Structure 1
Amino acid sequence: MMKAANDTAIHRRLIDGLYTEAMLLADEARSYFDEAGRAEREALDPLVRVGFSCESLKVTTRLMHVIAWLMTQRAADVGELDRSDLLHPSRRLGHAPVFDADLVSALPATARAMIAASADLHRRVARLDEAQQGLATPSPARSLQSRIAAAF
């Protein structure tokens, strides 16, 4: 029982940390794409400018999927949702839109950083979602640990 309580506390801290990171990144992205990045966007070639706008929407989509997933986890942690509800497909993390690497390389440095940060955050949360669903590939270190434990 103690291990389960400890696991729950660790899970809650992990989710809270990711939630804080996601909210800060969402605020930074909104500020940049709505305000500070406007002058940078206007200085771009018209076709790249359209790409800039598309990529800003992709950043927002990635972040909103992450935030929704984290809020669902928090709801389960406080008992508003049953843990079994987290296994339903509607509670899964939404797919991350893929970015065009060639286009991204033509964007200003801050836009590239926002795109990379949102993709990285989504990737990390996707690993948690997959693990929760039992879909994650086993860790090589854990596999080795299991083999050593079985040998002794």
Structure 2
Amino acid sequence: MSELISRSNNTINFIERKASSSAFRKLYAEGMGLVEETAAYLDGEGRAEAKKLGRVAATLYAAESMRLTTRLMQIASWLLLQRALNSGEMNREQMMVEKKKIRLDTSSAKLTAAGWNELPEAFRLLVNRSLRLQAYVCRLDQDLFGEPQETDRAPVRNDNPVGSQIELLRTAFAAR
């Protein structure tokens, strides 16, 4: 409790309290649940649905799948670090060193990208849920630690259609 009170002005730090409360446990469960749900979808129903897609949509699906899994792994890493800090397994300095390896800025294709509307609805919902969760974790991270990572930027969709296509091509050719 004494950690929650700032010595300089004797105020309660509600953000730190939230990060170690039942609200965090709920966030942790939501994040890890989304990781599991996404993995099950991509290995099962998503794989079958992807085979039915046209060439453009299939390429977009492959690129978005990589972004989705990257985004969720980064969120899971952040949640695990915060849990380790809360439980005393790591001190703040150790956690901050590890936190620097996490990127909470994985973007997604624009909703108007070629092939987006052809993607399976269940997949699009997973992408949208992951983006909302990433945005929430980014805000919480900023509130807790105050200093944005060098790469921190709002985890929103790419509003540049050319940039979106270039990123799609870069992702597709990088996988080969």
Same fold, TM-score > 0.5, yes or no:
yes
**1:110 maps to 2:122:** yes
Consecutive unaligned residues of structure 1, counting only runs of 5 or more, are 137-152
User: Could you tell me how far apart the structure 2 residues matched to 1:34 and 1:87 are?
Assistant: 33
Q: Does 1:77 align with 2:86?
A: yes
Pairwise CA RMSD of aligned residues? 2.3
* TM-score computed with the length of structure 1 as normaliser: 0.76
Find the residue that maps to 2:44 and give its secondary structure: helix
Residues 61 and 96 of structure 1 are in contact (CA less than 8 Å); yes or no, is this contact kept in structure 2? no
More helix, by proportion? 1
- Please tell me whether the aligned partners of residues 81 and 99 of structure 2 are also in contact (alpha carbons under 8 angstroms): yes
Which of 23, 40, 43 matches 2:32? 23
Deviations 1:92-124 (A, max 9, x none): 441332111214333111111010011111110
Q: After TM superposition, give the deviation of residue 37 of structure 1 in Å.
A: 1.5
| Structure 2 CA distance for partners of 1:60 and 1:34, relative to 1, 3 Å | same
- CA gap of 1:3–1:97, structure 2 versus 1, over 3 A, is closer
- The TM-score, its normalising length taken from structure 2, stands at 0.67
The alignment of Structure 1 onto Structure 2 pairs a total of residues equal to 135
Counterpart of 2:131? 119
Unaligned runs of 5+ in 2: 6-11, 149-176
Structure 1 residue 86, shift from structure 2 partner: 3.6
> Equivalents in 1 of 2:144, 2:18: separation in Å?
14
Give 2:19's match in structure 1, choosing from 11, 15, 32. 11
Identity %: 29
- In 2, the alpha carbon distance for the partners of 1:56 and 1:10 equals 31
